[in-house]
Amino acid sequence: MKHLYTKPSKGEQLNKLNPKKETIQFLLNYSKALHITKHRQLSFEFILN
Amino acid sequence: MNYIKATDAALVQEYIQGNERALSTLINRHQQRIYSFIYSKVFDKDVSDDVFQDTFIKVINTLKKGKYNEEGKFLPWVMRIAHNLVIDHFRKNKRMPKFENHGDFNIFSVLSDGDLNIEKQIIKDQIESDVQELIKELPEDQLEVLTMRIYKDMSFKEISELTGVSINTALGRMRYALINLRKLIEKHNLILTN
């Protein structure tokens, strides 16, 4: 019987999903490039390459 | 600092102070759970990647603006952002349903003349007459508001002026009218769909 249960269930498969490496890399680069400056009550966003 | 053992709250503070590595650790720590949650709702890897990306863009913007104030609750906060973005995704798709071509393209499967055929017209008439019968079972005050709103297309301001009750009361009566209608539909085992 054991071999009948070796295939992971759909729920287990769902829990092992990861985003693409490119997506993670994009987010880390975006974070590094984003600068927010506050002047009085306004905040200015800059994306610096 | 030991990034692996650090708590989410500590990593968030590190990131707010400008340490980019803290963000990388936070993403690595939670990516599987957040991505799986999104995928379990949308069932599309590309859409899941988009929603995941938008989620963390919001996270990054909020943290960098210094607007984050849920110390110790980082993951539930991110999950809530992801959840809201999933809802936005479905709302957007509802407004602009995309056409999916499955090989044999048939223009008539996507175009219709807009008019109801005889069968659909009969079903529509039947539904309308059922609803009219159900409405009669509502309490007088709810029946009055519902009739004015749905059949006479009056605003709640006009209804409140005409019936002499506040707008909130009129809204409340409308709400209870709909709740009671649903109950009546269940009670009579009616199926009011086309």
Distance from CA of B28 to the nearest CA of A (A): 9
| Cα distance from N-terminal residue to C-terminal residue, chain B | 63
CB neighbour list of residue B149: distance below 8 Å, 6 or more residues apart: B156, B159, B174
Structure confidence at residue A38 (pLDDT): 79
Structure confidence at residue A3 (pLDDT): 54
What DSSP string runs through B28-79?
HHHHHHHHHHHHHHH--HHHHHHHHHHHHHHHHHHHHTT----TT-HHHHHH
Using the beta-carbon criterion (under 8 Å), do A23 and B52 form an inter-chain contact?
yes
User: Which residue in chain B is spatially nearest to A19 when comparing CA positions?
Assistant: B49
Q: Is there a domain that residue B113 lies in?
A: no
Structure confidence at residue A8 (pLDDT): 59
Using the beta-carbon criterion (under 8 Å), do B36 and A34 form an inter-chain contact?
no
pLDDT over 90 (residue B96): no
Least confident among B38-47, B113-122, B155-164? B113-122
Residues B12 and B90 in one domain: yes
Across B184-193, average pLDDT:
80
Using the beta-carbon criterion (under 8 Å), do A24 and B60 form an inter-chain contact?
no
Mean per-residue pLDDT of chain B = 86
Helix (H, G, I), strand (E, B) or coil at A43: strand
pLDDT over 80 (residue B193): no
Structure confidence at residue B152 (pLDDT): 82
Whether the complex's predicted ipTM is more than 0.85 is answered with no
- Residues on chain A bordering chain B, Cβ-to-Cβ distance under 8 angstroms: 14-20, 23-24, 26-28, 30-32, 34-36, 43, 45
Q: Is there a domain that residue B46 lies in?
A: yes
Instruction: Give the pLDDT confidence of A1-49 residue by residue, as tens digits.
Output: 555 556 655 555 666 789 999 999 999 999 999 988 877 777 787 777 6
pLDDT over 80 (residue B94): no
Predicted TM-score (pTM) of the model is 0.56
Q: Is there a domain that residue B108 lies in?
A: no
Across B20-31, average pLDDT:
95
Structure confidence at residue B48 (pLDDT): 95
Structure confidence at residue B63 (pLDDT): 92
Residues B126 and B89 in one domain: no
Instruction: Give me the residue from A23, A32, A43 closest to B53, CB to CB.
Output: A23
Structure confidence at residue B106 (pLDDT): 64
Distance from CA of A1 to the nearest CA of B (A): 30
Distance from CA of B187 to the nearest CA of A (A): 37
Residues B136 and B87 in one domain: no
Residues B87 and B126 in one domain: no
Which range marks the domain in which residue B170 is found?
Answer: 118-187
Using the beta-carbon criterion (under 8 Å), do B36 and A17 form an inter-chain contact?
yes
Q: Cα separations (Å) of A26 from A19, B132, B175?
A: 11, 57, 46
User: Which residue in chain B is spatially nearest to A16 when comparing CA positions?
Assistant: B32
Between CA B167 and CA B180 the distance in angstroms is 20
Contacts of B24 in chain A (CB under 8 A): 28
pLDDT over 90 (residue B172): yes
Instruction: Give the pLDDT confidence of A30-41 residue by residue, as tens digits.
Output: 999 998 887 777
What's the CATH code of the domain at B136?
1.10.10.10
Using the beta-carbon criterion (under 8 Å), do B27 and A15 form an inter-chain contact?
no
Between CA B19 and CA B10 the distance in angstroms is 11
Instruction: Give the pLDDT confidence of B111-131 residue by residue, as tens digits.
Output: 666 666 777 788 888 888 888
Structure confidence at residue B83 (pLDDT): 94
Structure confidence at residue B97 (pLDDT): 58
Number of domains in chain B: 2
